[in-house]
Amino acid sequence: MPDLQWVVVPRIYRNLEPELSESQTAEVIDEIIANLTTHAVERDSALDHESTSRYEGDDRYDAVLKMNDDFLRDDLGDGLLLRPPTDEAVAALIDGTSLDADFEVCDMPPGFGIATVEKIAINAAMAGAKPEHMPVIIASVKALSMIGGGGGKSLLMSTSPQAPLLIVNGPIAKELGFNARSAIGPGRDNHVNTIVGRAFALCFRNIGYWYPGKMDMDTIGTTRKFIQCLAENEEMSPWPSFAHDRGFKPDESTVSLFITDGELDVQDQGNHTAEGLMKTLAYGCTFGTRSIQGKGGGVQRLILMPPDVAAPIGKEGFSKQEVKEFITKHAVGSLGKMIRYMPLEGEARVSENWEWLRSLTEEQLLDVQIPVMDSPDDCSIVVLGADRAKTAVFPSGPAPVTVGVDEYRP
């Protein structure tokens, strides 16, 4: 939108006191009127960047450091040391896929830059990716463009800490060495998880323009934005894989993309029955809020369930669908607590489905018990982790997207 005109004010309007909303608008009202009554003026975009193509130093290491200083100053990196995206490195990565360098994979939210194979390879090179990683990285980029709501554009630009999480299924997970046990975090075992996730994150920044303060308005931030690419622990799962749930065959490799909004470690220090383990999980799913702006308002949950929780549940004969139904039924909380942060007047824009809330006192609202999720389909279960009974629960949504990887392999 090259002709888009805008006016910058100091503060975001949401939750801003009415008096301050009025005063900061009054200060720029002449500029607003001028923009509405004149033709657009060409301006330099903060998102445009032309970097020097050649760096020289006392030696190669010094040249790499100078490149990093330049790239990080322009916010093209993630704060960690970048590898030089040389012509040779980029060409090798392009050879790792079946697609041509100028092939347009998709447009990438939230800024909707065009993700060509070459641009993906440039960012993958800076992350230290190898050619065999490219099909997973490309599929991940494609998956982001398919997330509901314009690639999750509004969520990714939100003041809240939404961030993608990638999960690999199928033969390629073992071929490339993805860790399916203690899979989130640093270290030797998570080397591939980290590199592939980082390559995707750099694409997200430099193709999707996901720069803090520009297209990412997160208020505080989250370590989940150091994105990692995990693998499901299919060997230790009592159920078919998550990819199977999405319609793929066991010999097909896939990557699934979730948009997460928080994380909770759900501890279970003694249950060994299926019902006990599932009730603990259901309780862990109750943190968070519901929306009162739409028909439903329920939230989604991604559950990373370790084998020591999944195995006893599966041994007692529960299918994955039955587990999701059980958790949805028992993940019940106080509606009053879930919506306490949201006023029923003004910006909240309560939908007609929830108008009955206005007649209740605060005490009555606290007494109303309601499911956190509207449907078992709002619950995703991925068996992942080491053999210890600690489950991770993530608020998530919109619905995850799963993309096949094999079509991008040479």
What Å distances lie between residue 326 and 27, 203, 369, CA to CA?
Answer: 55, 39, 17
What is the rounded distance in angstroms from the CA atom of residue 383 to the CA atom of residue 381? 7
* Cα–Cα distance for residue pair 134/93, rounded to 1 Å: 7
Mean pLDDT for 200-223 is 88
Q: Are 145 and 107 in contact (CB under 8 A)?
A: yes
**398: preceding bond cis by omega (within 30 degrees):** yes
- What is the helix (H) or strand (E) element at residue 380, kind and residue range? strand 379-383
Most confident option among 52-61, 114-123, 341-350: 114-123
Domain extents for the chain? 1-42, 86-331+372-408
| Long-range CB pairs of 327-330, under 8 A, 24+ apart, other chains included | 327/278, 327/281, 327/282, 327/285, 327/301, 327/303, 327/373, 327/376, 327/379, 328/371, 328/373, 328/375, 328/376, 328/378, 328/379, 329/282, 329/371, 330/278, 330/279, 330/282, 330/283
User: Which is it for the CA torsion 398, 402, 407, 410, positive or negative?
Assistant: positive
CA separation, residue 33 to residues 27, 45, 46 (Å): 12, 22, 23
Q: Of 64-73, 181-190, 330-339, which gets the smallest average pLDDT?
A: 330-339
Rounded distance between C-alpha atoms, residue 198 and residue 192, angstroms: 10
Total number of residues shown for the chain: 410
Tens of pLDDT along 271-311? 889 999 999 999 999 887 777 766 556 689 999 999 999 99
pLDDT at residue 49, rounded to an integer: 47
Question: Is the pLDDT assigned to residue 78 strictly greater than 60?
Answer: yes
Place of tokens 């005063």: 23
Residues 384, 388, 394, 400, Cα dihedral to 10°: 10
Residue 216 is given by DSSP the state B
